[in-house]
Structure 1
């Protein structure tokens, strides 16, 4: 039976609400681990279905995405351990930006940018034998959109305290907004190219409709799980 600690009754309770800081960090890191598990499953299924195709560009890209996703989870885990374990007793620790927070932003940008380039490459494939104006425009848009991501990385590395991010919050909204717009434009472009490729045969047109549905779903998924969305789209290609 545990013995009471002398003087414990005189210690006032600490009414500290950590749900918006440490709680959010814990939930986010848990979701990141779950999504990495989905990446493992989807990568395994893809490689099982393409065992005899040799080394292809898509396989190398999937290796690349899997490695980046693993690095991203490692940074998130380090950040979580730093704030919840190492500096849990330091009341000023949540104000200081740890290096792994900045590093995982860089990894996120690399993942999203590669996903956009891969979807643009699919636009070029879908437009084969037709006008190349649409994929050309989307290529320029994706390249220009990288400027917003670079601006975000620059802004994050200018800050040493989370309170300093308020001065650069415009860069966060700019990067997220631009990436979301690019996702929607790519999905709309793919749907347009597929809709104009209808043949009049019900079976073929039905398949194109299902493919457009998958494209819309994976286009939305890239906002929260870019590697998982691309691997999912590979399974239906």
Structure 2
């Protein structure tokens, strides 16, 4: 066992580390159930439209979401059941923990790309808003580089204490996700606001859509910012990791 692992064992607080992850997995299961219900309703509502891009996207996101839930469940099961009372193993990073980060990246940036495509569809025919999809696409593409840096840094870690040296990648990735969410939500609201027709029924629908976009954008941004704050304030426990477990579920639910 490495010296860094030996240093971590006396400080290990099961309640604030793996207990927090256990609570996160429980909440993730609830959110996955809600996403599954939304996906079922979506397919029931659009059963006569054939296979479209959005249907394929919903199926793909649901599969990734299910795999992500399976991986974080295995992660918690490995530490709290398989290695029950084996404190030395609790400091080692299991393979499923690293792999779930890759799936989380695919979910988050996949949803962002779908939103960018939605912005492009809405902005077509409006010359003054044609730059918005390009700007959003550049931001998402730049953020993907930050996510790759996060994955690389995590795969260099072998024990949880090593994650302290990779905090900068966590801050950069979560900060870029929150920034992209704000830009996407603002862009969609702007496009919808410029699409008002003057008819009360149509404008009322647009207002409801804008409120929904703001709420979902705030949900994912708050989740990212909460993970940043808890990581900065409490870097020795896993509360920020528990919030990260829920980020992918919030993104999938926001799109579906």
User: For the superposition of Structure 1 and Structure 2, which TM-score range results when normalised by the shorter chain?
Assistant: 0.7 to 0.9
Q: Could you say if the C-alpha distance between residues 17 and 145 of structure 1 is closer, same or farther in structure 2, counting changes exceeding 3 Å?
A: closer
Q: Distance in 2 between matches of 1:181 and 1:152?
A: 17
Q: Is the counterpart of residue 93 in structure 1 residue 89 in structure 2?
A: yes
Given the alignment of the two structures, is residue 113 of structure 1 paired with residue 109 of structure 2, yes or no? yes
Deviations 1:146-194 (A, max 9, x none): 1111111111101001101111100001000000100000000111111
* Residue 230, structure 1, aligned to residue 255, structure 2: yes
Aligned to 1:129: 125
Distance (Å, rounded) in 1 between the aligned partners of 2:85 and 2:152 = 31
Deviation at 1:120, TM superposition (A): 0.5
Bigger radius of gyration: 1
| SS of corresponding position for 1:186 | helix
Higher relative contact order (CA 8 A, sep 6+): 2
Give runs of aligned pairs for residues 141-156 of structure 1, distance below 5 A: 141-156=139-154
Query: Aligned match of 1:199 in 197, 200, 216?
Result: 197
Deviation, 1:221, is 3.5
Deviations 1:41-85 (A, max 9, x none): 111111111111111111111110011011001101111110001
Cross-structure match for 1:77 = 73
Task: From 29, 43, 49, give the equivalent of 2:45.
Answer: 49
**3-state SS in 2 of match to 1:92:** helix
User: How much does 1:17 deviate?
Assistant: 4.5
TM-score by length of 2: 0.81
Aligned residues: 216
Find the counterpart in structure 2 of residue 190 from structure 1: 188
Q: Name 2:206's counterpart in structure 1.
A: 208
Match of 2:30 among 26, 29, 34: 34
Q: Deviation of residue 25 (structure 1)? A: 1.5
Q: 1:139 aligns to what?
A: 137
The DSSP-based 3-state class of the residue aligned with 2:48 is helix
RMSD of aligned residue pairs (Cα, Å): 1.3
* Cα distance change on mapping 1:102 and 1:17 into 2, 3 Å: closer
Structure 2 unpaired stretches of 5+:
1-11, 224-246
Q: Deviations over 1:73-111 (max 9, x none)?
A: 110111111000111121122211000000100000000
